[in-house]
Amino acid sequence: MATTRYKADLQIPLEELGLTRDEVLGMYRDMLMARAVSERLWILGRLGKVYFLVSCEGHEAAQIGSVYAMRRGHDIFIPYYRDLGVALAAGSPPLDIFLHALGKRADPYSAGRQLPGHYSRRDLNIVSGSSVVGTQIPHGVGTAYASRYRGEDAVTIVYFGEGATSKGDFHEALNFAGIHRLPVIFFCENNGWAISVPQTKQMVVQDVASKADGYGFPGLSVDGTDVLEVYRVTREAAARARQGQGPTLIEAKVFRFSSHSSNDDQTRYRTPEDLEGERAHDPVIRFQEQLLNSSVLDEVEDLQIREEVDRTLDEAMTQAEASPDPHPEDASGQVYSEG
Ligand X SMILES: Cc1ncc(C[n+]2csc(CCOP(=O)(O)OP(=O)(O)O)c2C)c(N)n1
Catalytic residues: 256, 260, 269
Question: Which residue stretch of 189-197, 220-228, 229-237, 282-290 sits at the interface with ligand X (rule: CB under 6 A)?
Answer: 189-197
CB of 316 to ligand X, least distance (A): 25
Nearer to ligand X, 154 or 164 (CB): 164
Q: Is 205 in the site for ligand X (CB under 6 A)?
A: no
82 scored as a contact of ligand X (CB under 6 A): yes
Gap between the Cα atoms of 85 and 26, Å rounded: 13
Residue 102's Cβ-count burial label (10 Å; 0-12, 13-18, 19+) is buried
Does position 253 bind ligand X by CB under 6 A?
A: no
The only residue of 157, 164, 249, 313 in contact with ligand X, by rule CB under 6 A: 164
State which residue, 140 or 163, has the beta carbon closest to ligand X: 163
Rule CB under 6 A: choose which of 57, 75, 162, 223 binds ligand X. 162
Task: Specify the DSSP class assigned to residue 323.
Answer: S
Interstrand relation of 76-78 and 193-194 (parallel, antiparallel or unpaired)? unpaired
Residues 33-72 that bind ligand X (CB under 6 A): none
Nearer to ligand X, 98 or 193 (CB): 193
At closest approach, how far in Å is the CB of 135 from ligand X? 8
Name the strand (E) or helix (H) holding 161: strand 156-161
Nearer to ligand X, 125 or 202 (CB): 202
CA R_g for the chain: 19
Which of 1, 10, 195, 285 touches ligand X by CB under 6 A? 195
User: Which H or E run contains 194?
Assistant: strand 193-194
- Identify which range of 36-44, 131-139, 148-156, 224-232 contacts ligand X by CB under 6 A: 131-139
Q: Can you say whether the dihedral through the CA atoms of 199, 235, 185, 58 is positive or negative? A: positive
> What count of other Cβ atoms lies within 10 Å of the Cβ of residue 273?
8
Which helix (DSSP H) or strand (DSSP E) does residue 5 occupy?
strand 3-5
Q: Taking CB under 6 A as the rule, does residue 96 contact ligand X?
A: no
- Measured from the CB atom, the residue of 75 and 189 that comes closer to ligand X is 189
In DSSP notation, 13-42 reads -HHHHT--HHHHHHHHHHHHHHHHHHHHHH
Using CA atoms, how far residue 256 sits from 152, 163, 207, 302, in Å, is 36, 13, 17, 25
Total residues contacting ligand X by CB under 6 A comes to 15
Report the nearest approach of ligand X to the CB of residue 202 (Å): 8
Which of these ranges, 101-109, 136-144, 162-170, 205-213, lies near ligand X under the rule CB under 6 A? Answer: 162-170
Distance of closest approach, residue 130 Cβ to ligand X, in angstroms = 8
**Binding status of residue 260 toward ligand X by CB under 6 A:** yes
> Which H or E run includes 222?
strand 219-223
Q: Based on the shown chain and the rule CB under 6 A, indicate whether residue 191 belongs to the binding site for ligand X.
A: yes
Per residue, the 3-state secondary structure of 83-108, as one string, reads: CHHHHHHCCCCHHHHHHHHCCCCCCC
List 87, 102, 133, 184, residue binding ligand X (CB under 6 A): 133
Stretch that binds ligand X, among 67-75, 185-193, 213-221, 322-330 (CB under 6 A): 185-193
Site for ligand X contains 12 (CB under 6 A): no
Residues 201, 166 contacting (CB under 8 angstroms): no
3-state DSSP assignment of residue 4: strand
List 161, 183, 219, 224, residue binding ligand X (CB under 6 A): 161
Binding site for ligand X (CB under 6 A): 82, 131-133, 160-164, 189, 191, 193-195, 260
